[in-house]
Amino acid sequence: MKKVVTPAIFAAIVVYVWMFISWSLLPWHKDIFKNLPNGDSLAVQMKSSIKEPGIYRYPGVPTRATAEAINKIAGKYASGPIIAFMVYNPSGMDMVNPLQFVWGFLIIFLNAIVAAFLLYTSKLKEKGFLIRLAFILLLAVFAALIGPLVQWNWLLFPVGYSFGVALDYLVTWLLGGMVLAGLIKEEKKAAA
């Protein structure tokens, strides 16, 4: 257990620090999120008509799959606007919530535990550093393909966001993977 948890802790620290640098200090994620023009008036209108927190979309899908309903929605899609994915919370929250940082680290640690466990239980720990690192990078590629690139395709996330986040996954787990690949390896047996 210690041979998985200890490397995972170190990898999680490296990944957490990198993610802070990547999202807070470097410019490459800067233009991902755009502020709504006339945001205050839109917020008032949404607060008066949307009472429940959730993920919203427009024009959405028809409640009944009749030809008329599908054609009506298809017309709205064709003419726009399209809101494919909007996270909404009418009650608000603190702009900086310390609990989010704690949860963020725990989620990263769980990712590192999974990667460390998979590497430790594989026969790759007997291989060289670069092979072990490549294994972790393949996990990052898998995560990028199933995460931001799926969102780009189905939820219409912008190309820059989706591919930027996918690239960030690779850089993030290159760094975390270097820690895991360096610490999880076959122990040399002492000569008798």
pLDDT digits (tens, 9 = 90+) for 18-54: 999 999 898 888 778 888 888 889 899 999 999 999 9
151 within 8 A of 164, measured Cβ to Cβ: no
Overall average pLDDT of the 160-175 stretch: 93
pLDDT for residue 112 = 97
Which among 50, 51, 72, 52 has a CA at the least distance from the CA of 61? Answer: 72
Residue 147 has pLDDT above 80, yes or no: yes
pLDDT of residue 21: 94
Tokens of 180: 């895991």
Note the pLDDT of residue 189. 64
pLDDT of 7 reads: 96
Is the pLDDT confidence value at 57 over 80?
Answer: yes
CB of 62 within 8 A of CB of 73? yes
What is the C-alpha to C-alpha distance for residues 139 and 184, in angstroms, rounded to an integer?
16
Provide the pLDDT for residue 122: 92
Tell me: the pLDDT tens digits for 76-130?
A: 999 999 988 888 898 888 888 899 999 999 999 999 999 999 999 998 888 999 9
> Is the confidence at residue 192, as pLDDT, over 70?
no
In this structure, of 145-149, 158-162, 179-183, the range with the lowest mean pLDDT score is 158-162
Lookup result for tokens 């986040």: 165
